[in-house]
Chain A
Amino acid sequence: MDAINSLIEGFGTALTPLNLLYAFLGVLLGTAIGVLPGIGPAMTIALLLPLTFTLEPTQAFIMFAGIYYGGMYGGSTTSILLNTPGESASVVTAIEGNLMAKKGRGAAALATSAIGSFIAGTIATLGLALLAPVIVRLAVQMGAPDYFAVMVLAFIAVTTVLGSSKVRGLASLGIGLLVGTIGIDPTSGQQRLTFGIPELADGIDVVVLAVGLFAVGEALWVAAHLSRKPLDIVRVDSATMTREDWRRSWKPWLRGTLIGFPFGAIPAGGAEIPTFLSYATEKKLTKHPEEFGKGAIEGVAGPEATNNASAAGGLVPLLTLGIPTTATAAVMLGAFQSYGIQPGPRLLQDQAPLVWGLIASLFIGNTILLALNLPLASIWAKLLLIPRPYLYAGILFFASIGAYAANSSTFDLWLLIIIGALGFFMRRYGLPVVPAIIGIILGPAAEEQLRRALQISDGELSGLVNTAFSQIVYVIIALLLVVPPIVSAVRNRRRGDGGDGGPDASRDAPAGTHAHANVEGQ
Chain B
Amino acid sequence: MTPDTSSSGSAAPLVPPGRDPNPDRDASARKGYSEYGVAVLLLVLGTWAIVDAMGLIETANARGPVGPKTVPVAVGVLLIAMAVLLAIDVARGGRGEQEGGEDVDLSHGSDWRTIGLLGAAFVANALLIERVGWPISGAILFFGTTYALGSRHYIRNVLISFALSVGSWYLFYAGLGIKLPVGLLKGIL
Q: Write the residues of chain A forming the contact surface with B, with a CB cutoff of 8 angstroms.
A: 37-38, 50-51, 53-54, 78, 82-84, 164-165, 167-168, 170-171, 173-175, 177-178, 181, 185, 187-188, 190, 192-193, 219-231, 385-390, 392-394, 396-398, 400-401, 404-405, 408, 410, 413-414, 417, 424-425, 427-431, 443, 447, 450-451, 454-455, 457-461, 513-516, 518
Contact = CB atoms under 8 A, between A and B. Distances in A.
Interface of B: 1-4, 9-11, 13-15, 35, 37-38, 41-42, 45-46, 48-49, 52-53, 56-57, 59, 61-68, 70-72, 75-76, 78-79, 82-83, 85-86, 89, 94-106, 108, 110-112, 114-115, 118-119, 121-123, 125-126, 129-130, 134, 138, 141-143, 145-146, 148-151, 160, 164-165, 168, 172, 176-180
Given A53-B178, A221-B104, A389-B145, A170 B82 contact: yes
In order of increasing CB-CB distance, the 6 nearest A-B pairs are A459-B64, A430-B96, A84-B102, A514-B100, A393-B145, A429-B96
Given A220-B118, A450-B71, A457-B64, A387 B108 contact: no
B123 to A, nearest CB: 7
Contact of B59 (A168, A181, A188, A513): A188
A392 B149 contact: yes
A231 B94 contact: no
B68 A455 contact: no
Nearest to A229: B105
A224 B111 contact: yes
Contacts of B95: 430
A227 B103 contact: yes
B17 to A, nearest CB: 11
Contacts of B65: 454, 459, 461
A256 to B, nearest CB: 25
B2 A231 contact: yes
B32 to A, nearest CB: 12
Nearest to A518: B97
A188 B63 contact: no
Contacts of B35: 429
B99 A38 contact: no
B103 A37 contact: yes
A497 B95 CA distance: 23
Contacts of A174: 42, 45-46, 75, 78-79, 82
Given A404-B129, A410-B129, 10 more contacts: A37-B102, A224-B110, A224-B114, A226-B105, A226-B111, A388-B103, A389-B150, A429-B37, A457-B64, A461-B65
Contacts of B76: 178
19 contacts: A50-B178, A178-B79, A181-B75, A190-B59, A192-B68, A223-B148, A224-B111, A225-B104, A226-B114, A227-B105, A229-B105, A385-B1, A396-B142, A396-B145, A404-B134, A413-B129, A430-B97, A430-B99, A459-B66
Contacts of A454: 63-66
B122 A400 contact: yes
B142 to A, nearest CB: 5
A231 B102 contact: yes
B2 A190 contact: no
A223 B105 contact: no
B14 to A, nearest CB: 5
- The binding surface of chain A is classed by DSSP as helix
B97 A171 contact: no
Given A190-B68, A389-B10, A168 B96 contact: yes
Given A174-B78, A175-B79, A190 B57 contact: yes
A177 B78 contact: yes
Output the residue of B62, B102, B164 with the most chain A CB within 10 A.
B102
Contacts, number: 277
A165 B89 contact: yes
Nearest to A448: B71
A396 B79 contact: no
Nearest to A413: B126
Contacts of A37: 101-103
A513 B101 CA distance: 9
Given A389-B151, A455-B63, A165 B122 contact: no
Contacts of B46: 174
Output the residue of A38, A228, A385, A428 with the most chain B CB within 10 A.
A228
A221 B99 contact: yes
Given A226-B14, A389-B149, A430-B97, A192 B72 contact: yes
B10 A397 contact: no
A148 B95 CA distance: 33
B68 A387 contact: no
Contact of A188 (B56, B103, B112): B56
Contact of A390 (B10, B63, B112, B123): B10
Contact of A38 (B102, B105, B148, B177): B102
B149 A393 contact: yes
Contacts of B41: 425
Contacts of A425: 38, 41
A146 to B, nearest CB: 17
Contacts of A220: 115, 118
A168 B86 contact: yes
Given A175-B79, A414-B126, A390 B160 contact: yes
A270 B72 CA distance: 27
A83 B1 contact: no
A192 B56 contact: yes
A181 B53 CA distance: 11
B145 A392 contact: yes
Nearest to A406: B178
Contacts of B49: 178, 181, 193
A404 B149 contact: no
Nearest to B117: A223
Given A178-B49, A187-B59, A226-B103, A428 B98 contact: yes
A393 B151 CA distance: 11
A395 to B, nearest CB: 9
Contacts of B100: 513-516
B1 A401 contact: no
